[in-house]
Amino acid sequence: MSDREQIEVRIDKDAGETWKVQRRSIIPLARGLSVSEKVSFRMIPGSKRGTMRRKSLIVKLGAIGDVASLIPAVWKLHQSGSEIDWLCGKVVAPLLSCYTWIRPITVNDGVLFGGRSVEKIAEILRVWRKLMGASYALCAILQYDRRYKALVVPVHARKTILLSRQDRAFRLVSERHHTAEFARILLEEPDGYREENLAPVSPDLLPDNPLPGYGKIRIALAPGGARNLLNDDAQRRWPVQSYVELAGLLINKGYEVVLTGGPGDVWAEAHFAGLGVVNCIGHWKIPQTIAFYRSCDCMVSHDSGPMHLAGISGCNLIALFGPTAPSKALPRRDGIVSLWGGEHLPCRPCYDGNTFADCKWNGCLISITPQRVAAQIESMIRLPKAEWQVINV
């Protein structure tokens, strides 16, 4: 391969949504477009065909929880002696930047999932420029959709793995914890009896706490979340009025209550008007949020991105589950308790990995009362951190 290689990309009018293979290049043909352009790629300095350090490329785009669940498995891979590059979306890149042993390679997932066809192709070409000439011992595409292979066309890998719904060896077994399943697949561990639970990996590169404390017991709440580029999973959320009632109970005890969440969660602010909470929704990026959670005596969230960030931070965490099962997603370390609502409901859990039941009541989460959560907070902040557990309510 020369230091500079020309790859011609042609998109034919009236072509269907298919794949075109030319040499080792795979590109999606956009419907109804007629474009022809030449794109130049420069080899990564020092990277030559046939020479390879032990490096691994992880391809995992998705929501914060998806990526956070994978980090402990990738940490095990790194501990085995592998450098880690991670092809990730813009939303989760700040999370991965909190780890000095991960090199994030960012994809504009907003364009890939929601852009026009010509924008999607331009984004793929931009990723190719970053990867051209890169060599890896392992390329792990931890997605089920085979179209993600298009992102790594320029990569030279001794071994490539891809999730598969047909092959159990490369399928996330439904009711198992996702972190353990990622480790099994990524490290090719036997699919048998295992005792080890992989705990969240503490970041080694965080900013200072953006909200220093002043002596009060500090409780963080995350009433939003459960939303990403593709889905708004409202059924995962504990009712906002339950959060409001909980905040009132905690303030009456003299505790500091801080609202947290991303810019998309500002809708929740108005519900807490006049309560005396500290509203920090949308104020911080992911690294600052993790640094803040480290200062908290306890954090309360439903199954969402903030839950995973709190799990990473090391603070006491109460995670509220209902239509999803904590067996799959609950971070597993000391100081974490899941209250799983709807113990006697035959419809729980209703999430099948893709969709929820058409439930208008969300009775499983409603059955978790603010008083029950407040009691759990009292127990956790007064006692040493205990082993993680799931409590049916």
The answer to whether 16 touches 31, Cβ cutoff 8 Å, is yes
Backbone angles phi, psi at 59, to 5 degrees: -115, 105
Whether the predicted pLDDT of 229 surpasses 70: no
Checking if the pLDDT of 51 tops 70, the result is: no
**Residue of higher predicted confidence among 48 and 359:** 359
Residues 250 and 149 both lie in one domain: no
- Return the closest-CA partner of residue 226 out of 321, 142, 148, 145: 321
Does 20 score more than 60 pLDDT?
no
Tell me the pLDDT band of 211, cut-offs 50, 70 and 90.
Answer: very high
* Whether residues 224 and 343 fall in one domain: yes
Query: E strands along 14-127, which residues?
Result: 19-22, 25-28, 35-42, 55-59, 83-89, 102-107
The candidate with the shortest Cα–Cα distance to 120, out of 23, 263, 9, 41, is 9
Total domains present in the chain: 2
Joined together, the tokens standing for residue 331 give 């971070």
Q: Are residues 179 and 102 in the same domain?
A: yes
Pair of tokens at residue 327? 């067996």
Q: Side-chain half-sphere of 187: how many Cα atoms within 13 Å?
A: 21
253 with 327, same domain?
yes
Domain end position, chosen among 186, 205, 230: 186
- In-domain check, residue 210: no
Higher pLDDT, 47 or 61: 61
Please say if the pLDDT value at position 28 is more than 50. no
Q: Which helix (H) or strand (E) holds 156?
A: strand 156-162
In a domain? residue 7 = no
pLDDT exceeds 70 at position 32: no
**Confidence band for 232, pLDDT divided at 50, 70 and 90:** low
Over residues 269-285, the pLDDT tens digits come to 999 999 999 999 999 99
| Residue 349: pLDDT over 50 | yes
Cβ-contact 219, 300 below 8 angstroms: yes
pLDDT at residue 231 is higher than 70: no
- 181 pLDDT band, cuts 50/70/90, is very high
Considering only residues 20 and 53, tell me which one the structure prediction assigns the higher pLDDT. 53
Domain match, 244 and 146 both: no
222 and 370 in a common domain? yes
Same domain, 182 and 222: no
Q: Are residues 243 and 304 in the same domain?
A: yes
CATH number of 268's domain: 3.40.50.2000
Question: Is residue 151 domain-resident?
Answer: yes
pTM: 0.85
Indicate the average pLDDT of the chain: 86
CB 305 within 8 A of CB 327: no
Is the domain of 175 the same as that of 306? no
Phi/psi for 86 (5° steps) reads -135, 115
- Whole-number pLDDT of residue 230: 54
Residues 270 and 323 in one domain: yes
| Residue 123 shares a structural domain with residue 229 | no
Across-strand partners of 160? 139
Domain boundary among 162, 186, 210: 186
CA-based nearest residue to 336, from 308, 369, 366: 308
> What would the pLDDT profile of 108-141 be if each residue is shown by its tens digit?
998 998 889 999 999 999 999 999 999 999 999 9
Containing structural domain, residue 246: 218-392
